[in-house]
Homo-oligomer: A and B are copies of this chain.
Amino acid sequence: MLSQSEENYLKAIYSLSELQGEAISTNLLSEKMSTKPSSVTDMVKKLSDKKLISYKKYQGCELTIVGKKMALQIIRKHRLWEVFLVKKLNFGWDEVHEIAEQLEHIQSTKLTDHLEEYLGFPRFDPHGDPIPDKNGVFEKINKSKVLSDVIINGKGSVVGVEDGSSGFFQFLNRYEIGLGTEIQVIEKFDFDLSILVLINGKEISFSSVVANKIFIQLL
């Protein structure tokens, strides 16, 4: 059985691998985990001993098949709990991540499976991220197109957001933006990369920071 810390490292390596493809460097992982590189080296040795990652000194690390499976099970739990909190306990989508960080470490396959059934086998979490099934299989959704990429007069709906700070979620709530919200691009400004959009009949201007964190599926 893995410790919470080991599980968190696996999750971090997984999510960095999704972005960065290749082997994950010690420094990158240390930044993600908010620990010092020396701590990462220690942990990476341990996970390597357990055959959950492959690791050669100075060459970074990569999940093994087994390690990736474990990472996906933790992510599965995280996202199922997020759905539970939003759908059943009436939490806002901006409030659930921290609590799910704790709940994801509860050890009981039966609990996870019962929870999934109770929730009606949801395929996405409240932020639009896909939920792996008990075998680790999940739908890859289109997180390729971001609001900034939509051309002028283009129209789409929100299919996800970058899993980010609570400040960002509060921002989204303020403008009543959630999964499924329809957005039309009115104008784009090159000088600061800001963007003018139409949401629920209202014109709103977004900074490029925001426009890069909202994933869009064209209509």
Contacts and interface: CB of A to CB of B under 8 A. Distances in A.
A85 B99 contact: no
Bin chain A's interface residue count: 10 to 19
Interface string A100-127: 0011001110110011001000000000
Assembly stoichiometry (copies):
2
Contacts of A108: 98-99, 102
Nearest to A90: B114
Contacts of A103: 103, 106
A91 B114 contact: yes
A167 to B, nearest CB: 19
A89 interface: yes
Interface in A39-93: 85, 88-91
B91 A99 contact: no
A148 B102 CA distance: 43
A108 B98 CA distance: 9
18 contacts: A85-B111, A88-B118, A89-B111, A89-B115, A89-B118, A90-B114, A91-B110, A91-B114, A95-B110, A98-B108, A99-B106, A99-B108, A99-B111, A102-B106, A102-B107, A102-B108, A103-B103, A103-B106
